[in-house]
Chain A
């Protein structure tokens, strides 16, 4: 059989071809327009193809051409600052080729193949090189050095190595066996890139969001799930993470979500400054935008495209954070294609392999020793959109079984305008054990203990609230009323954070610690003042306390907070005398 066949059947994004030799996951070109597709099932002579573009108007009998390659992404200098669709076609190029509407049949290079980069070699003639080894580098953006690596499957002795200005398709290195290496390489998206070993995570991904860093920390190389009903702030949380987390690179996948939201990101990011480096955020970002109305098969591919790019940068030794918003849309794309294939469904119509696909995806996260001995990580943060906000559904459950951090968004909190609307009672992180040493060494010796006290107070509050619901707060003894006040301070002063405020949107981890201490300090001062006869009302309403709380919206808070706490404590002590 040849690599050319004809279309037998078309049913939405699923096309069946006959008369063509094909292997699973081969990329094919469908019809006269050459639409891109991928073989996903074989039945005797027939190959079932999922097509990444709209299929209306295509007829049986049109040709199908097998490229005999698997779906791959192009990796090399030029990736950063790009905005791709689900199959790595740059959206700006598509706009140039087809106008503002995405039509079909257009092929586009992932990045500018002609652009000249200055390649600086790091190996010499005669050196032995192995897969993953860095042979040179390019300053891709102000902040990121793009390391040029030997493809994972190649090794040998360097015969010649270049230095100077080249584009990504020109050969920069030749091995003794004749293998030529360019700055660009390809990698199949459905295959994880190899590494030497996985390490246990021991460093937190600092996000600048108090509730996340302080109560439910995520490790670099870890995986987190953010489930939440619509309107609870999944996307805002993901975007805050993309903006402020201390990863060196960010891959942001807008998977089956709103067009206007993607546009907001695309408009906003180039103007935002990375708080960690002071450079534009875009310089460390790769974006993938396959909105809900773009072809569903490309949506299915988009998460793989994203994570392969993330792994590639990990292999250079970077800490990469990947946000996928939303993995539910990815799962739905799988369901849609599975139903077109008439597969036997599992739960709620999702394919039976749903949970294993989810697990495989999150397993591509991790902190690893790369092939060249470096230390790199991919942290995956996946949003989940459970129908009706009910997380007993298959995608949420499949995710919770594999991720170690669960940030549960809560519609009730969102309705109270408590943002980020992360429920502190049912969220969890399994990382504190492995991260506590880092917090002790880098922030404060008693950091874990402070965290325990804060979360303990929140727990007590929830129990007290049940009583308050029945009898009103005035019926509680004063010490419990004070506990409620302290817990309210935790919620309003510490957990709530305005993601749109210039200053409050990002909170330094040291400051987080001081703020938590300030709350506990208030509790201690109030307790001892009340033991000496001060009234709860006087203690709670000392002016210095509201100054302290409002202070977080002003720059330089970290320099003032200690003196503000002292002033508050003095005023509370005075409340004893005034009584």
Chain B
């Protein structure tokens, strides 16, 4: 349905257009704006009343004037979905970017997405082996989880995300993920890096890319992740695929949200971000999961760069309250030349408990993970002490732990970008490394696992 064209714009402010004397316009309705030179822009209704309608314009308001024609499309924003999406590259508003044809829609799906009934969810408990030891051992990923990477500028989060996308699989299964990749305000260089890597490994054929780059309209970033998640939901819950959604960079998304809030003269919350940012982020992150009666799943890997490496900044802070853990990338480790520079101490997977153990990974996983973590944490702490009192002041136990922390980083964390360690390899490696510590100090290990797995007790 194409309605009447209005030329009743009163105000234009930032990304917002205000107009009056319209027909009754629906909240969230899609709008097209026709400029004097014939260019078309798209927008969405943010506020509607008998007197005034506020439209948020995705492509920016450049060249919009009072003569611009505004048409209300009679419907909310929808994405045409079909399995043809797989293998395609679309722009931040869902239009083909790869020169290919328009998507032939099986159906059109509302991009806002409805909340999954908590009663209809199924608890995620399938262990995903990423082949990255630090993640598999300490922050095990579960199918249906949302586990963000908290990184910062200049750190190799993209390499890690790609390595995970490449290697992630269910243990003892060849079933692959469909990757939905969502770029928000990243540079063309970063995008080319992702794209060429996906091409190189042949993963592009099994991926859908939604791309909004740094020089694309900022406001468009508000809808890009919603498009990506709508595509993911369709593929997972209608077409039974296991979908891995990688979106980067959430910080750019939140900045776009702040931009719109400021233009609307809303009361800002912390650091100028809107007070509803928690709810807004939840509407994205919560679209991960598994639901009863459907075969597919959505696992999310959001990447965000912490401004000033500050984990208490509103973006990582609010994300951490919603996501099921976080993987924290450390600048310190990166500068020591360790890849992947994952700091396991503040990293966490909340769903880990449900996916590890005898039936899924190995019986000693929990015990080994606790011991590795504890020994490393104590070793790291001792480094601070050694700086003050010198190594000679340490007792035997502390010396061993201190040495272990170096070994942990060098032998356990460090692996190459295409090294795909199975969980058994990771666990065996842990036992080998832990054998440098006297067994009597390994208090978190169950005696029966020591007897079974400790190198001294294996031939």
Contact = CB atoms under 8 A, between A and B. Distances in A.
Interface of A: 8-12, 16, 54-62, 83, 91-92, 94-95, 98-103, 229-231, 254, 256, 258-264, 266-267, 289, 291-294, 296, 329, 332-333, 335-336, 339, 345, 348-349, 385, 387-390, 415-417, 469-472, 474, 500
A387 B278 CA distance: 11
A470 B267 contact: no
Most chain A CB within a 10 A radius of its CB, from B145, B266, B275: B275
A471 B114 contact: no
Contact of B282 (A98, A289, A292): A292
Contacts of B118: 83, 91, 254, 259, 262-263, 266, 289, 291
A262 B350 CA distance: 13
**Which 6 A-B residue pairs are closest in the complex by CB-CB distance?**
A388-B312, A56-B28, A9-B49, A292-B282, A91-B119, A101-B114
Contacts of A388: 312-313, 317
Contacts of A62: 24
Contacts of B394: 472
B292 A472 contact: no
B198 interface: no
B49 A332 contact: no
Interface string B24-47: 111111000000000000000011
A104 to B, nearest CB: 8
Contact of A387 (B24, B28, B48, B312): B312
B2 interface: no
Interface stretch (B9-17, B95-103, B283-291): B283-291
Contacts of B117: 91, 94-95, 98, 100-102
B120 interface: yes
A8 B321 contact: no
B121 A293 contact: no
Given A10-B27, A259-B115, A335-B269, 4 more contacts: A57-B75, A57-B76, A267-B123, A472-B385
B266 A387 contact: no
A329 B278 contact: yes
Contacts of A294: 115
B114 A103 contact: yes
A293 B279 contact: yes
Interface string B95-139: 000000000000000101111111111111000000000000000
B457 interface: no
B406 interface: no
Contacts of B60: none
Contacts of A8: 49-50
29 contacts: A8-B50, A10-B47, A10-B49, A57-B28, A57-B76, A58-B27, A59-B24, A61-B24, A83-B119, A91-B117, A91-B119, A91-B120, A98-B117, A101-B113, A101-B115, A231-B326, A260-B351, A261-B324, A264-B123, A291-B282, A292-B279, A293-B279, A293-B286, A332-B275, A335-B275, A349-B268, A349-B275, A385-B321, A387-B270
A289 B118 CA distance: 7
A100 B298 CA distance: 15
A469 B382 CA distance: 10
Nearest to B144: A260
A33 B276 CA distance: 26
Given A57-B27, A293-B283, A417-B370, A336 B276 contact: yes
A243 to B, nearest CB: 15
A387 B25 contact: no
A234 to B, nearest CB: 10
Interface of B: 24-29, 46-50, 75-76, 110, 112-124, 144-145, 237, 266-270, 275-276, 278-279, 282-283, 286-289, 291-294, 312-314, 317-318, 320-322, 324-326, 345-346, 348, 350-351, 353-354, 370, 373-374, 377, 385, 388-389, 393-395
Contacts of A83: 118-119
A263 B287 CA distance: 14
* B119, B288, B321 interface centre (most CB from chain A within 10 Å): B119
Contacts of A100: 116-117, 120-121, 237, 291-294
A336 B275 contact: yes
A56 B289 CA distance: 24
Given A58-B26, A100-B116, A266-B119, A9 B50 contact: yes
A500 B269 contact: no
A240 to B, nearest CB: 14
A345 B322 CA distance: 25
Contact of A102 (B116, B275, B292): B116
Contacts of B25: 59-60
Contacts of B24: 59-62
Contacts of A333: 279
A296 B278 CA distance: 11
Contacts of A387: 270, 312, 314, 317-318
Contacts of B115: 101-102, 259, 291, 293-294
A416 B370 CA distance: 10
A393 B317 CA distance: 14
B123 A260 contact: yes
A11 B28 contact: no
B279 A296 contact: yes
A339 B282 contact: no
A263 B350 CA distance: 13
Residue among A100, A266, A345, A417 having the largest count of chain B Cβ atoms under 10 Å:
A100
A9 to B, nearest CB: 3
The winner among A57, A415, A469 for most chain B CB atoms within 10 A is A57
A393 to B, nearest CB: 9
Given A230-B320, A348-B270, A293 B282 contact: yes
B275 A474 contact: no
Contacts of B322: 258, 292
Contacts of A259: 115-116, 118, 121, 286, 289
A55 B29 CA distance: 11
A106 to B, nearest CB: 11
B145 A260 contact: yes
Contacts of B320: 229-231
A389 B346 CA distance: 14
A417 B267 CA distance: 39
A56 B348 CA distance: 36
A92 B118 CA distance: 9
Interface centre among B29, B48, B370 (most CB of A within 10 A): B48
Contact of A390 (B76, B266, B312): B312
Nearest to A342: B267
A66 B19 CA distance: 30
B56 to A, nearest CB: 13
Nearest to A267: B123
Contacts of A474: 393, 395
Contacts of B114: 54, 101-103
A221 B82 CA distance: 56
A276 to B, nearest CB: 25
Nearest to A350: B275
A263 B286 contact: no
A557 B99 CA distance: 71
A95 B370 contact: no
Given A95-B117, A260-B144, A231 B26 contact: no
B374 A349 contact: no
A125 B317 CA distance: 62
Contact of A292 (B269, B278, B291, B346): B278
B137 to A, nearest CB: 14
Nearest to A103: B114
Nearest to B121: A263
B398 to A, nearest CB: 9
Contacts of B312: 387-390
A417 B120 contact: no
A14 to B, nearest CB: 10
B122 A231 contact: no
Contacts of A55: 27-28
Nearest to A290: B118
